[in-house]
Structure 1
């Protein structure tokens, strides 16, 4: 008697799990590629203006994928409170603090603050979601991942004396990680109820406009007389946001918040790898390789299914 694997429940589960994991890896790799681009783009444009332009453009890019050109506007009208919350958590606050913070802190400090993301997401899910309580396996996984982030950060750039501006930048990045974790909970609580791309487009358009309005009194009108290199960087940042967040919102409707966000430990890992490959004065060291091993171990532990 033959066995059709397409109708084997275990085979279908494994296939779906692999697909979700690959999508999560893709989103994290896209996010990790944005740091170098952001640093270059900040040479041409002020932080909040750059963030606003990035997300307005990212929201517009997604409109053709929403099924209807007016889908984001309908989402805003019917689900305004949800869109507003997600926009505040995932765009306005997170990237407002990120773009300002990255102008004040170094790569090592910033990487450690980014590494707080999976921990804060697990804590928020434990507090606000009844079906996503923190388990011992999750704690062990987070411990391995955080240790790896610290090792890579210390190996990438030695610590320097931290002044008031650097400390404020660190606190901005930390607050952004915590608020973003709340945003993950908001999206996860609406599992299956909203179209992920329409929601992402609507929240980015709203967030981008708000960021531009906030930027105007502090940074003045946006300067558009800039070289083509800036517009290439802006387009890439918008594509990253449009793609990675659409993937992430889709996965949040399928996977528990705490488990999905363990993949974010890949961001500092892949960021260090890109530095070694693209920057001539950067090379791997023993502590950084050990940090990568810890991150991989943490992800493997966290993604294993409980028996």
Structure 2
């Protein structure tokens, strides 16, 4: 049992490290196109990339025939709403700050799971630990957004990203309810491919169409983002469908994302640099992750 849990944690860390690279890639791509068009193309391609891994295309069609509404609502919350808001919010705030705000997903995932899953209620220790991580995020958000006079655009960007976090938490619960019912690979392919297609079509009504001719950095960022989405979501759906995995426990590893996402943004994106308060917030987040791991280890031994 302990070996399975260690394997779960290892795969969760890999998925989160992949996701942490997205913020820099998105900021690069958004220099050449609009948020929703970029998101739509990215996730449609990611869904297509996964198709060969399903081995039999008949499994893809069988899943949508048997569980159309369940797969549709996962696509709505886990791709369409989540990433429409995500790209919109990222376009308004620095990449490092977007990474840090999205790092609050574990809190929302745990709260959503508490109300939607009977076997995933929050203990007092978990609540304190998660709140500690969120304290680090609030500290950074206050310093960068609320602490900046006249920067209302960043304020709304942070609010939009918070709603994206709520959508992600709901989507995670819906995925966990399909344990042993739909293959994680099939589910990941459907939700991203269909969700990306819907986002792109929707973008044509509210954003100017920029065509498909862009410089090399755009295509490099698009290719990497599509690959990481295909890989990370498939890993995550696989873990969510494991019988021993709880939504709140798995999502705590997403506290890794803001730390590495911010560091990569500082290294890659021109004009972004580390500051004392954000670094302090990251240390608080990292400490909360260690405490949460210790709580889980004690629970497994008892």
**What TM-score comes out, normalization by structure 1 length?**
0.87
RMSD, matched Cα? 2.4
- Would you say the 8 A contact 1:108–1:156 is kept in 2? no
Q: Which residue of 1 aligns with 2:285?
A: 295
Aligned 8 A contact 1:151 1:291 in 2 = yes
Match of 1:192 in 2: 180
Q: Secondary structure at the match of 1:193?
A: coil
Q: Secondary structure at the match of 1:266?
A: helix
2:255 matches 1:265: yes
Report the alpha carbon displacement of residue 155 of structure 1 after superposing the two structures with TM.
7.2
* Distance in 2 of aligned mates of 1:39 and 1:175: 20
Q: Which residue of 1 aligns with 2:215?
A: 227
Post-superposition CA distance 1:128-171 (Å, at most 9, x none): 11100000221122022112334455678893235554443332
Q: Aligned to 2:241, which of 236, 253, 263?
A: 253
Could you tell me whether the CA contact under 8 Å between 2:28 and 2:217 is conserved in 1?
no
**Structure 2: segments with no counterpart, 5+ residues:** none
Check 1:103–1:144 CA distance in 2 against 1; reply closer, same or farther (3 A cut): same
Counterpart CA distance in 2 for 1:170 and 1:156 is 10
Q: 2:96·2:261 contact (CA, 8 Å) conserved in 1?
A: no
- SS of alignment partner, residue 210 of structure 1: helix
Is 1:116 equivalent to 2:104 in the alignment? yes
Distance between the aligned counterparts of 2:19 and 2:56, measured in 1? 27
Contact persistence 2:24–2:95 (CA under 8 A): no
Distance 1:104 1:202 in 2: 29
**Alpha-carbon distance in 1 for matches of 2:266, 2:208:** 37
* 2:193 corresponding residue in structure 1: 205
Structure-1 separation of matches of 2:62 and 2:150: 47
1:76 aligns with 2:78: no
Q: TM-score if structure 2 supplies the norm length? A: 0.89
Residues 148-157 or 84-93, more deviating = 148-157
Q: CA deviation at 1:274?
A: 2.3
- Distance of 2:196 and 2:265 partners within structure 1: 29
> Partner residue of 1:180?
168
Q: CA deviation at 1:294?
A: 2.3
For residues 136 and 231 of structure 1, do their structure 2 counterparts lie closer, same or farther at Cα, with a shift above 3 Å needed?
same
After TM superposition, give the deviation of residue 23 of structure 1 in Å: 0.8
User: 1:286 offset after TM fit, Å?
Assistant: 5.4
**Kept after mapping to 1: 8 A contact 2:94/2:272:** no
The alpha carbon displacement at 1:83 in A equals 1.2
